[in-house]
Amino acid sequence: MSRNLKTIAIRLTSASALAVTALTTVAISPAGASPLTDGISSTAQAENGNGACAHGGYVGGPNQSSSCRGGTTRTHAWCADFAGWVWARNGVTGLGTLDDRAASFMDYGKKYGTLSNTPHVGDAVVYNYNGSDYADHVAVVTGVSGNTVTITGGNQGGYPGHVSTYSTTKWSVGSSPWGQRISGYISPAGTSTPSYPNPASLPAGTLVKSPSGPDVKVMIAGSGVPVAASDVTPDKYDLSKVVTVDDTAFRALPSAPPAGTVVHDQAGGNARYVMIDDAALLIGAEDWTAAGYNNRADMGVPTAWLKAAAQRTVPTGIVVMDQTGTDPSRYVMVDGAALHISGAEWTEDKYNEQTLMGVPAQWLKAAIAKSPSNDNVLMDQSGTDPSRYAMLNGAAVPISGAEWTANGYDKRTLMGVPGDWLASTVAKKVANGSIVKDVSGADATVYVMAGGVAVPLTYADFTAFGYDKRPLEGAPGTWLKSAAAQAAPVDGTMLLSPDSNTVWQVTGGKKKAMTADQFGAGKLSFDDVVSVPTTFTAKIPTAS
């Protein structure tokens, strides 16, 4: 807006006339905040920048016309329609008195006795009232602070007009802060419960907002998915068509579509995802038809929200299966990993009582290959094994009773997992090359894991081998002592020590020199060779 509040004059007959005497004042006392005044202020200011056809047009009382009358262009001055719309969204009573004239707000003030010379947040402010049936403009008071009044109005800034907000210290009746004389302030007479549409009844793709704030959501299968400012242009969301809904209903909307909903990026692209809780799982090309996802409604969702959802993990405790049915097994999710549930455990551990969710086969294969992270403490879901275990780079290592509390494991979340899966994970060796030390600090030695053996490192080894660049994991001390006492790594372990370039492979408790042709594409990888001190390889007998 320019600093003049120009409107198109509409002259309608009024049955009454009212003159307001200008008073000279130097200070104002702001009225106390209330849900009504706060709501009016936030509703009005949230519309800043909008034109006449926002929300399909502003219209307040039953005798007002839509600001967008005609469909796409403004056909009449709409400042009164905007002010009436703001009041209506906050449940103000008596709106039948209002029409398309700015002067109708003066009629309202006379009828309900709310006309005054003092501005209050939530008031309508009328300009250039002729004392009878016409005024040039009406806006809404959206802030009162000290000697400054903030005013928000529609149809401002010259044709075709928009919603804008400005502040002034020239607020007294008779003043002309923007070239138009303030004629009076009209407070709402009261409130009733505003009537808003139920957001759940709106079609998919409808943009909604609360009258109490600027946040916008898009309706997807009964949920309200947040729309970020960065989404508006690439996703082609038309903010002029936002539907205002009840604040409580708006806040209560689920932020993610229901499980099983197929979604894609509203901005475009070929990737498709299926929702499981609030995580978006990528659907592989082979799953699209095999799993029947091509027969479901495909919903466009905001780009920023989808990017975040695709990075989330399916919550722990969710039971899943291959949607295609190719893999008949059932799995329980724990920290992003899919853990196999045996047939006996399915009913004995009551997994059958949980909702079973189908997931893309390709995604499931990747989740099966994962292990819970090292922060997890596990137990047998059935209780058959009373022990507690700490995850350590793919293996479950036992925690002794004393260590349970002494080392703070009792402060971590304890997760029940299928007993058969747990037993197989306990039998695994901690990943080769893992760098570990006693979590209690009682033993300051740092070890590297090699074929189930915890090999001690000097500080020189620790840095020379580059192990100072790897994560240092805490392990239960009792288990670590046992691992350090192992005689030799398991068969197949490959070792390299700094005394030579020879790579050794352990077989039957002895080491055997390897040749270069054993490595390469489709063969063994040098990445699996563990660097250990010379003293360690020296004590392993050489195979003849």
Check pLDDT > 60 for residue 239. yes
- For residues 338 and 460, state if they share a domain: no
- For residues 401 and 443, state if they share a domain: no
Name the percent of the chain lying above pLDDT 70.
92
Q: Is residue 8 part of a domain?
A: no
pLDDT of residue 193: 59
pLDDT of residue 2: 32
Q: Is residue 127 part of a domain?
A: yes
- For residues 57 and 107, state if they share a domain: yes
Q: Which two tokens stand for residue 47?
A: 């519309």
Check pLDDT > 70 for residue 167. yes
pLDDT tens sequence across 4-55: 333 333 222 222 222 332 323 334 444 445 667 888 999 999 999 999 988 8
pLDDT of residue 55: 85
Check pLDDT > 90 for residue 245. no
Q: Which two tokens stand for residue 68?
A: 């967008």
- For residues 516 and 462, state if they share a domain: yes
Lowest-pLDDT range of 49-63, 165-179, 214-228, 306-320: 49-63
Q: Which two tokens stand for residue 14?
A: 């009024």
Q: What is the arithmetic mean of pLDDT over 175-197?
A: 86
Q: Is residue 374 part of a domain?
A: yes
Look at 244 and 488; give whichever has higher pLDDT: 488
State the Cα–Cα distance between residues 87 and 95, nearest whole angstrom: 8
- For residues 529 and 456, state if they share a domain: yes
State the Cα–Cα distance between residues 140 and 235, nearest whole angstrom: 32
Q: Is residue 275 part of a domain?
A: yes
Burial environment of residue 101 by CB neighbours within 10 A (0 to 12, 13 to 18, 19 or more): buried
Identify residue 58 by its one-letter amino acid code.
Answer: Y
Lowest-pLDDT range of 88-97, 196-205, 423-432, 531-540: 196-205
Q: Is residue 12 part of a domain?
A: no
Q: What is the arithmetic mean of pLDDT over 182-193?
A: 87
State the Cα–Cα distance between residues 84 and 156, nearest whole angstrom: 15
pLDDT of residue 291: 96
Q: Identify the band that residue 75 occupies on the pLDDT scale cut at 50, 70 and 90.
A: low
Residue 309 makes CB contacts below 8 A (sequence gap 6+) with 256, 273, 275, 278, 279, 280, 301
- For residues 364 and 307, state if they share a domain: no
Q: Identify the band that residue 198 occupies on the pLDDT scale cut at 50, 70 and 90.
A: confident
- How many distinct structural domains can be found in the chain? 4
- For residues 243 and 351, state if they share a domain: no
What range defines the domain where residue 46 resides? 35-186
Last residue of a domain, one of 312, 330, 356: 312
pLDDT of residue 25: 33
- For residues 47 and 173, state if they share a domain: yes
State the Cα–Cα distance between residues 484 and 448, nearest whole angstrom: 10
pLDDT tens sequence across 278-330: 999 999 999 999 999 999 999 999 999 999 999 999 999 999 999 999 999 99
Cis peptide before 160 (omega within 30 of 0): yes
Residue 501 DSSP code: S
pLDDT tens sequence across 131-163: 999 999 999 999 999 999 999 999 998 888 999
Look at 66 and 386; give whichever has higher pLDDT: 386
Identify residue 287 by its one-letter amino acid code.
Answer: D
Last residue of a domain, one of 312, 344, 364: 312
Last residue of a domain, one of 428, 462, 496: 428
Residue 388 φ then ψ, to 5°: -115, 145
3-state secondary structure of 293: helix
Cβ neighbours around 269 below 10 Å, total: 10
Give the H or E element holding residue 456: strand 453-457
State the Cα–Cα distance between residues 131 and 464, nearest whole angstrom: 92
SS in 3 state form for 94-148? CHHHCCCCCCHHHHHHHHHCCEECCCCCCCEEEECCCCCCCCCEEEEEEEEECCE
- For residues 258 and 283, state if they share a domain: yes
Q: Is residue 205 part of a domain?
A: yes
- For residues 55 and 156, state if they share a domain: yes
- For residues 402 and 267, state if they share a domain: no
pLDDT of residue 195: 63
Q: Is residue 25 part of a domain?
A: no
State the Cα–Cα distance between residues 543 and 398, nearest whole angstrom: 34
Q: Is residue 177 part of a domain?
A: yes
3-state secondary structure of 152: strand
- For residues 390 and 336, state if they share a domain: yes
Q: Which two tokens stand for residue 92?
A: 């103000």
